[in-house]
Amino acid sequence: MEKNNPFEITQKQLYMCAKVLNLEDDVVRMLENPMQQVQVSVPVKMDNGTMKVFQGFRIIYNNVLGPAKGGIRFHPDETIDTVRALAAWMTWKSALLDLPLGGGKGGIICNTKELSQGELERLSRSYINCIWKFIGPDVDVPAPDVYTTPQMMAWMMDEYSRLSGKNQFGVITGKPVQIGGSVGRGDATALGGMYTIREAAKELCMDLSQAKIAIQGFGNAGSFAARLSEQLFCAKVVAVSDSKGGIYNPDGLNIPEVLKHKAKTGSVINAPCTQTITNDEVLELPVDIIIAAALQNVITKENAGNIKATILAELANGPTTPEADEILYANGIHVIPDFLCNAGGVTVSYFEMVQNMYMFYWTAEEVNERLERKMIKAYHEVFDASRKYNVTMRMGAYSVAVSRVAEAMKIRGWV
C-alpha cells in the first residue's frame, strides 16, 4: 500500500464521517468510490517531429447534485488515486458551498517545464479529443489546477467547440475574460481562503494586523494569498516557498519584490533581503498563520507536532494526513480544512458557468460580494457542525457536505 495514498485518505475521512452521521451502509457504498473513471492515452506530436503518448484521466466522483466540476492538473507525479481523491474532495466542496454541482477531476502525467508552448497547446487539445464525449456544460465542467492556466482552458474550450460544432463557452471555467471567463476567477481561491481566515480570527480573537503569516507554495493560490494577506489584513508575510525551496525574513517580506524576482528567475529563492529555508522549515516557523498552498501530504505525523501557528489554512488540497489531523486537534491548532478554505475557486467557477449560460457578465464587485456571502456562510456551518458533533473542523465540513449529498441521493432514489 502506498504511504499516504490520497484516495485512501479520502475514504478514511468518509468512514469517520459516516460514524459521526450514523450513515446507512448503502449510502457509504455509493460514496466510497467514483461513479465514473476514464483513463486515456493522449498522443502529442513533439516539436522535434516524434510522437509521445501521455496518460490522462477524467473522473466523475458523484453528480447527484448537478454536473461534475473540478480542475485538470498537469503534474509528473499525477496518479489515478490522486485524481480520485481530488474528485472526491470536489464533491464535498461543491456540496459544502451549496452549489448545484457534483465533483470531478482530471489530470495528465507530464512535466510542463519540459514542454514548449506549442507542445502544451497540442497536449491540451489532444486531451479534449480523448475525453470530449465524457464532458459537457451539463455533464462535467473542468477548470485549471496545478500547472494548468487560463490559456490552456481557452485551447480546451476551443477544441471542444470545434468537435461539437458550436461555441460552448460553458464547457470549461477559468477561461480568459475575453472569451467568457469571469472577472475575479484569478484570485478567487485565495480570496475565498482569506474570508475564512478572517472569520476564524474573529472566533479566536486574533488581531490580523499584528499577525505573522508563512505560505507554502507560490503559484496561483499562494501568491494571491500573499498579496491579499497584506492588502486585506495588513498582516506580515514572513515566509513563502515554491518547489525550489523557501525564503524567510522575520520582519516581513516585500511581496511585490518577491513577485518580480519570481517572474525574472522562475523561483522565490534568493529574493533580496531574505534567508533561504527549506519547504519543511516554512511549516515550522514561529508564526500565527500557516497557509498551505502547494501540494498534498506535506503535514504528516512526523512534522505536525512542530507546527507553532494558531491557524492552519489549507488552500492546497489534502495537505494534512489523518494522523497529523489528530495531532493538530490535540494541540489546539485551528485548521480551516481544504474543501472549505479553497472553495473560492469552484464558487467563482460556478459563477462563470452561470454567466456563460446567461451570456451576461457581472462586475468584480458583484462576483466578490457573492463569493464573500457564500464563504462566510460555509465557514460558520462548518464551525457550528464541529461544535455540535464535538469533532475537528474537517469532520465538521464532512458532516455538512456528506449529509447534503446523501439526502439528494435518497430523494433521487439512488439509495
Of 42-50, 239-247, 320-328, 350-358, the segment contacting ligand NAD by CB under 6 A is: 239-247
Grid cell, residue 189, equals: 481561491
Which lies closer to ligand NAD via its Cβ, residue 23 or residue 172?
A: 172
Annotation marks residue 105 as catalytic? yes
Indicate the helix (H) or strand (E) that contains 318. none
Indicate the helix (H) or strand (E) that contains 322. helix 322-330
Q: Which of residues 177-206 bind ligand NAD (CB under 6 A)?
A: 189
Within 46-175, strands assigned E span 51-62, 68-74, 103-108, 140-144
Q: Which of residues 87-146 bind ligand NAD (CB under 6 A)?
A: 144-146
Among 119, 199, 242, 352, binds ligand NAD (CB under 6 A): 242
Residue 162, exposed/middle/buried by CB under 10 A (0-12, 13-18, 19+)? middle
Of 14-22, 127-135, 156-164, 214-222, the segment contacting ligand NAD by CB under 6 A is: 214-222
Which lies closer to ligand NAD via its Cβ, residue 28 or residue 340?
A: 340
Among 208, 213, 215, 293, binds ligand NAD (CB under 6 A): 293
399 binds ligand NAD (CB under 6 A): no
- HSE-CB of 251 using CA atoms within 13 angstroms: 4
Of 34-42, 227-235, 288-296, 301-309, the segment contacting ligand NAD by CB under 6 A is: 288-296
Which lies closer to ligand NAD via its Cβ, residue 70 or residue 396?
A: 70
Q: Check 3, 19, 45, 105 and give the catalytic one.
A: 105
Grid cell, residue 137, equals: 456544460
Helices H / strands E in the chain, number of each: 14, 12
Which lies closer to ligand NAD via its Cβ, residue 18 or residue 271?
A: 271
Cα separation, 282 vs 116, in Å, equals 32
Give the angle subtended at the CA of 322 by the CAs of 320 and 327, to the nearest 5°.
85
Give the angle subtended at the CA of 17 by the CAs of 7 and 288, to the nearest 5°.
80
Q: Is 372 left (phi over 0), alpha (psi -120 to 50) or beta?
A: alpha
Give the 3-state secondary structure of residue 123.
Answer: helix
78 binds ligand NAD (CB under 6 A): no
220 binds ligand NAD (CB under 6 A): yes
At its nearest, how many Å lie between ligand NAD and the CB of residue 297? Answer: 10
Are the CB atoms for 291 and 213 separated by under 8 Å?
yes
Of 134-142, 153-161, 238-246, 357-365, the segment contacting ligand NAD by CB under 6 A is: 238-246
274 binds ligand NAD (CB under 6 A): no
Nearest residue to ligand NAD, by Cβ distance, number only: 219
Closest of 339, 296, 336, 366 to residue 99, by C-alpha:
339
Q: Which residues are catalytic?
A: 105
Contact residues for ligand NAD, defined by CB under 6 A: 144-147, 189, 216-222, 241-243, 279, 293-295, 315-317, 342, 345
